[in-house]
Chains A and B, each alone.
Chain A
Amino acid sequence: MAGEDLNEEERSEEDKKKFLFLMRKAPYGSIYPQGGLEVILIMAAYDQTISVLFADDGVFCLKKGQETAGIHVKDFSSAFKVLESYGVEHLYVDKTSLEERGMKPEDLLTGVEVVSSDEMSGFLSGQDVILPF
């Protein structure tokens, strides 16, 4: 893969961009959350600034105690817990989305920052690339 060679190169600061992954969908209902996660894991090797924001049904991706044996698909939720070790340190959850679904921060798999809609819109406008999944 051509991309792998580039991981080794030192990138100039100009090449460094702020990527935000906007996770809006529940896990397992479609390929989107898993597809997004796979991009995050690859991109983490590229020395970019990566943030992940969970909003709408995307907050379910982080729900503790996922059990997928009954639907015969892989439980990928544990991968969200290890993102920090991949250098992805900025995980955010939309406060309203969480509250609308009767969830609390302690229901989530990993330590995340809960942000208000106002904080979120300011945060979105500061990104170079937003990838909706």
Chain B
Amino acid sequence: MKFGILILEGPYQHQAGDSAYNFAEAAVAKGHAISGLFFYCDGVQNATTYMTPPQDDRHISKRWAEFIAKHGVDAVVCIAASKKRGITDANLIKGARIAGLGQLTELGIESDRLIAFGD
């Protein structure tokens, strides 16, 4: 099955982003495909290079960057939400791109299931 993933909450504050990651890993492990990631609202913060968490904690954005590279997943970060938070290509994780909400529509159309992770 092709799963699209929508992430609506920021890192280290809410479980939604962690759940999204765990779901994506588990889906791939079971032989499913991830048709794309869409980071929206505070979810865009998951895809920045700003964070430097302590060594004994998970590095949320690095983890996503590795997932994107390993599985060749399209990762889109909402442009409007990024602008409000000072996120540009200069501080975006490798493999992610900034684009509009039309991409979320496309993801909904092309995925067998679009799973939203939020509050």
A residues neighboring B (CB under 8 Å): 1-4, 6-7, 15, 17, 19, 30-32, 35, 38-39, 42-43, 45-46, 48, 128-129, 131-133
Contacts and interface: CB of A to CB of B under 8 A. Distances in A.
A35 B8 contact: yes
Interface in B7-34: 8
Given A32-B41, A43-B101, 16 more contacts: A1-B79, A1-B100, A3-B103, A3-B106, A4-B100, A6-B102, A30-B119, A35-B81, A38-B101, A39-B104, A42-B100, A42-B104, A42-B105, A128-B108, A129-B108, A131-B116
A42 B119 CA distance: 22
A25 to B, nearest CB: 8
A88 B40 CA distance: 22
A87 B118 CA distance: 27
A23 to B, nearest CB: 13
12 contacts: A2-B103, A4-B102, A7-B102, A17-B108, A31-B41, A32-B118, A39-B101, A39-B104, A42-B102, A43-B108, A48-B108, A131-B6
A19 B102 contact: no
Interface residues of B, number: 22
Nearest to A4: B102
Interface of B: 6, 8, 40-42, 79-81, 99-106, 108-109, 114, 116, 118-119
A47 to B, nearest CB: 10
Contacts of B106: 3, 6
A132 B108 CA distance: 13
Contacts of A132: 116, 118
Contacts of B103: 2-3
A92 B19 CA distance: 30
Given A15-B109, A131-B6, A132-B116, A35 B102 contact: no
A42 B108 contact: no
